[in-house]
C-alpha cells in the first residue's frame, strides 16, 4: 500500500488526499514497528525531526569495532529519533529507510503550504489543532485489510505482544533494561554490566528484537540472548 501511495504521489504530486494517506500509513508503521504509545508518535514535531536528523552524532570508532556484523548493518539501515514519552522521559523511535523517506516527503509538503503545520502528522483541516490519531488510524487500516482478527492489531496489544515475546529470548538483565527503556517503562533490574551511548545501544540492540518481531521469526531464536542473534539482511 505504501508503494502504491508513493507511486501515486510521483505521478499526481502531493495533493492533500495523497498526503493524508501517506501520513496515515507512516504513522501506523512507526507505532507498529516500534511498539510505541500512540501519543508519543502522534505529536512528533517537524522541528524536532529536522533538527535531530541534521545533528546526528557519528558512532565512535572504538564503539563501532565492538559491534557485531548484524548490529553494524542495523546502524546503517536505521535512524533513531528521541521524542517525549510518558512522565516526560525521552523515548526512542527507530526509523527504517522507508519511514524516514516518507517523513521527509511529508515535511516537504508541510513546508510548501501557506499554513505552517506544527506536527509531522498534522490533519489536513486548517482549523485542526491536534494531529492524526494513531489508534484510530491503525484500527481503520486493520479493518480495511480484511484480517481474520483485526481486533488484535491495537496499540496496547502490540506493546503487550513484544513484551511477551521477548521472554522467549532469554534476555539478560541489562537487555531487559534496554527493552524497558525502549518501551518507556520503569522496572527494577540489575544495572547494565556495560554502557554504550544510548542511541548506539538502541539501534544496535533493540532493532534486532523489533525486526524479528516484524518478520514473525522470534520463535526461531528461543533461549538466545540478543548478543547471540545474528541478522544478516
Express each pLDDT in 135-158 by its tens digit: 999 999 988 888 888 888 888 888
- Residue 213 has a pLDDT of 86
Q: Is 132 helix (H, G, I), strand (E, B) or coil?
A: coil
Report residue 195's pLDDT band, with 50, 70 and 90 as the boundaries. Answer: very low
Query: Is 226 within the bounds of a domain?
Result: no
Answer whether residue 53 shows pLDDT above 70. Answer: yes
Report residue 194's pLDDT band, with 50, 70 and 90 as the boundaries. Answer: very low
Q: What is the dihedral of CA 82, 84, 90, 94, to 10 degrees?
A: -30
Q: How far apart are CA 11 and CA 81, in angstroms?
A: 30
47 compared with 208, residue with greater pLDDT: 47
- For residue 116, give the C-alpha cell: 505552517
Place of cell 486548517: 126
Query: Is 121 within the bounds of a domain?
Result: yes
Q: What is the dihedral of CA 176, 191, 71, 228, to 10 degrees?
A: -60
- Residue 209 has a pLDDT of 82
Answer whether residue 193 shows pLDDT above 60. Answer: no
Domain that includes residue 22, residue range: 2-221
Q: Give the count of domains, the chain.
A: 1
Query: Is 229 within the bounds of a domain?
Result: no
Beta bridge partners of 95: 79
Answer whether residue 192 shows pLDDT above 50. Answer: no
Mean pLDDT of 107-134: 89
Q: How far apart are CA 95 and CA 34, in angstroms?
A: 9
Query: Is 175 within the bounds of a domain?
Result: yes
Q: Is 131 helix (H, G, I), strand (E, B) or coil?
A: strand
- Residue 182 has a pLDDT of 75
- Residue 146 has a pLDDT of 86
Q: Can you state the angle between helices 155-165 and 207-215, rounded to 10 degrees?
A: 110
Query: Is 227 within the bounds of a domain?
Result: no
Closest CA to 213 of 2, 34, 68, 91: 34
- Residue 187 has a pLDDT of 55
Please state the pTM of the whole predicted model: 0.73
- CATH code: domain of residue 20: 1.10.443
Neighbours of 47 (CB within 10 A): 10
Query: Is 232 within the bounds of a domain?
Result: no
Report residue 216's pLDDT band, with 50, 70 and 90 as the boundaries. Answer: confident
Query: Is 228 within the bounds of a domain?
Result: no
Q: Can you state the angle between helices 69-77 and 207-215, rounded to 10 degrees?
A: 80
Query: Is 152 within the bounds of a domain?
Result: yes
Express each pLDDT in 2-46 by its tens digit: 889 999 999 999 999 999 999 999 999 999 999 888 999 999 999
Report H helices in the chain.
Answer: 2-12, 16-34, 38-42, 46-54, 61-66, 69-77, 97-112, 134-144, 155-165, 173-183, 198-201, 207-215
Neighbours of 231 (CB within 10 A): 18
- Residue 167 has a pLDDT of 65
Q: Which of 62-76, 83-97, 110-124 has the highest mean pLDDT?
A: 110-124
Closest CA to 138 of 7, 44, 4, 26: 26
**52 class by beta-carbon count within 10 Å (0-12 exposed, 13-18 middle, 19+ buried):** middle
Answer whether residue 190 shows pLDDT above 60. Answer: no
- pLDDT averaged over every residue in the chain: 82
Amino acid at each position: 500500500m505504501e508503494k502504491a501511495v508513493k507511486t501515486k504521489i510521483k505521478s499526481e504530486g502531493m495533493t492533500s488526499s495523497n498526503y493524508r494517506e501517506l501520513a496515515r500509513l507512516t504513522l501506523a508503521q512507526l507505532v507498529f514497528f516500534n511498539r510505541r504509545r500512540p501519543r508519543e508518535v502522534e505529536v512528533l514535531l517537524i522541528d524536532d525531526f529536522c533538527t535531530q536528523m541534521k545533528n546526528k552524532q557519528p558512532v565512535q570508532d572504538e564503539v563501532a569495532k565492538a559491534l557485531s556484523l548484524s548490529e553494524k548493518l542495523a546502524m546503517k539501515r536505521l535512524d533513531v529519533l528521541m521524542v517525549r514519552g510518558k512522565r516526560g522521559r525521552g523515548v526512542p523511535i527507530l526509523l527504517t529507510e522507508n519511514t524516514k523517506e516518507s517523513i521527509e516527503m511529508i515535511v516537504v509538503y508541510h513546508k510548501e503550504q501557506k499554513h505552517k503545520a506544527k506536527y509531522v502528522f498534522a490533519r489536513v483541516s486548517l482549523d485542526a489543532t491536534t494531529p492524526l490519531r494513531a489508534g484510530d488510524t491503525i484500527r481503520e487500516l486493520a479493518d480495511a485489510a480484511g484480517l481474520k482478527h483485526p481486533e488484535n492489531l491495537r496499540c496496547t496489544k502490540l506493546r503487550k505482544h513484544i513484551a511477551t515475546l521477548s521472554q522467549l529470548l532469554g534476555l539478560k538483565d541489562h537487555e531487559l533494561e534496554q527493552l524497558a527503556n525502549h518501551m518507556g517503562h520503569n522496572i527494577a533490574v540489575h544495572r547494565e554490566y556495560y554502557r554504550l551511548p544510548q542511541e548506539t545501544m538502541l539501534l544496535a540492540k533493540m532493532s534486532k528484537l523489533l525486526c524479528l518481531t516484524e518478520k514473525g521469526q522470534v520463535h526461531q531464536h528461543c533461549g538466545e540472548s540478543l548478543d547471540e542473534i545474528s541478522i544478516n539482511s
